[in-house]
Structure formats: structure tokens, C-alpha cells
């Protein structure tokens, strides 16, 4: 399983904001820090704002900040929000599935169980957990 770049960038933005709580951040600075497209990041931040994870301050000196405390942002929730489809294989989506062995296949059940375990594990982490014990080294790396 591979997460989309959208999920990856969403988590990176949230982590960036979590370690820089005393100042507003800009999309330009985050994009520069991570060496990712400003245009793509703008779309990601917009969706994070609509989902209630990020708030924006408009105008001169404006920027971004977390809309909630890092301890209230569940990683599993973010992934569920940012991953459009969690269909690991074709048969997870009955309307798309053309698999001939689906009625007798044990793979679907095993993969559903694995996906559930993956999400349950991420549900056990908050954004605060992702940055907590490494916050000072992480802040230094993101300060460039």
C-alpha cells in the first residue's frame, strides 16, 4: 500500500504547523522547506482548511496555523480524509470489480483485515505524537 502524495503532503503541512505554533507559516515557506510544488501545496492546504485542520489569516503578515491543538488531530482521521479511495484491490469496490474469483477468494478478507489494522494503528496516534519527542530536532530541520 502506498499513500498518495496528497496524504503525504497533508501530514507534512500539519507536522510543520505543529512544531511552529508561535508563528504563522506561509505556503511558500512550507513548499520551499519540503521542496514541493507551491501550486500543489496550495490545493492541499485549501482542503485541510475545509476539513477544519488548518485556519488561514488573510492580509499582510497573514499565513497558516493549526485550527486545533495537535493532540486533537488523529492521524487515522487525516488519512481517511485525504485518501479518496482506500480500495487496495479491485474487489473492494463492487461497482468496479470485474474479478472472476471474488465469490471464492480469501484475499479480499485478508486485505480488508490488514487495512483495518493499518487504520487502527494510525488512529492510535495524534499529530502531537508525531512531533512530540523529536520536536526540537524537527523544528531545526524545518527552520531552513
Question: pLDDT tens across 108-138, in order?
Answer: 889 889 999 999 999 999 999 999 866 677 7
pTM comes to 0.86
pLDDT of residue 135: 61
Q: How many domains does the chain have?
A: 1
> Of 80, 76, 59, 56, whose CA–CA distance to 67 is shortest?
56
The residue among 89 and 46 whose pLDDT is bigger is 46
At 116, which CATH number?
1.10.10.10
Q: Is the pLDDT of residue 81 over 80?
A: yes
CA distance 37 to 73: 25
Domain limits for position 54: 5-142
Residue 68: count of CB within 10 angstroms of its CB: 14
- Render pLDDT for 60-77 as a digit per residue (tens, 0 to 9): 888 999 999 999 999 999
Please say whether the beta carbons of 115 and 86 come within 8 A. Answer: yes
86: CB partners within 8 A, 6+ apart:
80, 92, 115, 119
Amino acid at each position: 500500500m502506498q499513500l498518495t502524495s496528497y496524504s503525504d503532503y497533508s501530514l507534512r503541512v500539519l507536522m510543520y504547523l505543529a512544531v511552529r505554533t508561535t508563528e504563522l507559516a506561509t505556503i511558500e515557506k512550507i513548499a520551499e522547506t519540503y521542496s514541493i510544488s507551491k501550486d500543489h501545496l496550495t490545493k492541499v492546504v485549501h482542503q485541510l482548511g475545509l476539513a477544519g485542520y488548518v485556519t488561514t489569516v488573510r492580509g499582510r503578515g497573514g499565513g497558516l496555523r493549526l485550527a486545533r491543538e495537535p493532540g486533537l488531530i488523529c492521524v487515522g482521521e487525516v488519512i481517511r480524509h485525504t485518501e479518496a479511495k482506500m480500495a487496495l484491490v479491485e474487489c473492494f469496490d463492487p461497482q468496479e470489480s470485474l474479478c472472476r474469483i471474488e465469490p471464492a477468494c480469501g484475499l479480499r478478507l485478508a486485505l480488508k483485515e490488514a487495512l483495518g489494522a493499518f487504520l487502527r494503528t494510525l488512529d492510535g496516534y495524534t499529530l502531537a505524537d508525531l512531533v512530540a519527542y523529536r520536536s526540537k530536532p524537527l523544528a531545526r530541520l524545518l527552520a531552513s
